[in-house]
Amino acid sequence: MSSTYGTLFKISTFGESHGAAIGVIIDGCPAGLEVDTQFIQSELDRRKPGQSRITTQRREKDEFQVLSGIFEGKTEGTPISLVIWNEDQRSKDYSHISQQFRPSHADYTYQQKYGVRDYRGGGRSSARETAARVAAGALAKLLLKQQGVQIQAYVSQVGKLKLETPYQQLDISKAEENAVRCPDPELAQQMFDYIDETRKQGDSIGGIVSCVVTGTPVGWGEPVFDKLHAELGKAMLSINAVKGFEYGSGFAGVELHGSEHNDEFYIEPGDETGRVRTRTNHSGGIQGGISNGEDIYFRVAFKPVATIMQDQDSVDVDGNPVVVSGKGRHDPCVVPRAVPIVEAMTALVLADFYLRNKVAKV
């Protein structure tokens, strides 16, 4: 089972939903980086459960502990190990599905692939694993901050409720002012009410997280198989419940002619740096798999959470028909807590390409 991501800035996550702990080992982070532990904790707080009534009510502080690689507030250039201890497991909530396969979960595929599975909250397939990614992503954000790169994600859709306003016209920072993490306060309240009503019905709903990256310099990414957008897509699709990824004009771009879609180049009058810009940005800041200096923007689609509080038909490990009853504590909609996860995976991709680009220029 591969639990490692990255080429130079590498992470390996470990742990299960109801095990003793989850954590991450970060290898390749340059020495001398000042580590803001309060910032790392604040990122984990954005993802942790129990934030409001529209998220899982599992109570985890998600406080992290540094085991290695950081000394006197700075990275040492050696492997960094961070651990988050699990404190609020209720494994008995899952005993009824120890021999059953939950619809649209990883139960069946894990059982068939490995011959064994941890049924307590999904074990390794649980989204709880993403807390380790957020911790590592926070460190990557600190590294990228030195390069002037900023990453901001927000909820742009829940069910059929869509935020139509282009990101350039939004104050994305307002997303952190409400439980849904949508920067439009009025729409955010509608989304909240819709998710809450869905929860009361014992059901779930999907949504979309949009992400904008500013300050990325020209040249990050590789021209063939490791294209920047390909790695971003891989990173996003590795997140639990993700069903789709599009960057730039995405699928809507097929409706345009080339004369409409092409991003014409120009140099701003009076710009002494001679920086090449594009008048439009249908490319989403990436051309030929390499960043072009414009904003990188993309959208990530999340399915409705598979666990619902309703009875569903399924089969058990012996192939007998059974009725699976929903129990446990789960998000009726994953996107509010997915925002920091999308940001973290984006940061990990960009931190890796930042280091790879430095090596390529040596």
In angstroms, rounded to a whole number, what is the distance separating the alpha carbons of residues 122 and 328? 11
Q: Give residue 126's pLDDT band: very low, low, confident or very high (50, 70, 90).
A: confident
* Tally of CB atoms within 10 A around 48: 22
Q: Do 19 and 346 contact (CB within 8 A), yes or no?
A: no
Q: Mean pLDDT lowest for which of 29-38, 69-78, 110-119, 149-158?
A: 110-119
Q: Please indicate if the annotation marks 132 as binding a ligand.
A: no
Q: Please indicate if the annotation marks 307 as binding a ligand.
A: yes
Q: Please indicate if the annotation marks 288 as binding a ligand.
A: yes
In angstroms, rounded to a whole number, what is the distance separating the alpha carbons of residues 99 and 102? 10
Report if pTM > 0.85: yes
Q: Please indicate if the annotation marks 117 as binding a ligand.
A: no
For residue 278, the surrounding DSSP H or E stretch is strand 276-278
User: pLDDT tens digit string along 6-37?
Assistant: 999 999 999 988 888 999 999 999 999 999 99
In angstroms, rounded to a whole number, what is the distance separating the alpha carbons of residues 202 and 309? 4
Q: Please indicate if the annotation marks 86 as binding a ligand.
A: no
Q: Please indicate if the annotation marks 126 as binding a ligand.
A: yes
What's the pLDDT at 88?
A: 61
Q: Give residue 234's pLDDT band: very low, low, confident or very high (50, 70, 90).
A: very high
Q: Please indicate if the annotation marks 124 as binding a ligand.
A: yes
List Cβ neighbours of 265 (8 Å cut-off, separation of 6 or more). Answer: 276, 277, 278, 279
User: pLDDT tens digit string along 171-224?
Assistant: 999 999 999 999 999 999 999 999 999 999 999 999 999 999 999 999 999 999
Domains defined along the chain, listed by start: 4-248+283-358 (3.60.150.10)
What's the pLDDT at 135?
A: 97
- Give me the residue label for tokens 């104050």: 171
User: pLDDT tens digit string along 60-75?
Assistant: 688 999 999 999 999 9
In this prediction, residues 248-257 reach a mean pLDDT of 97
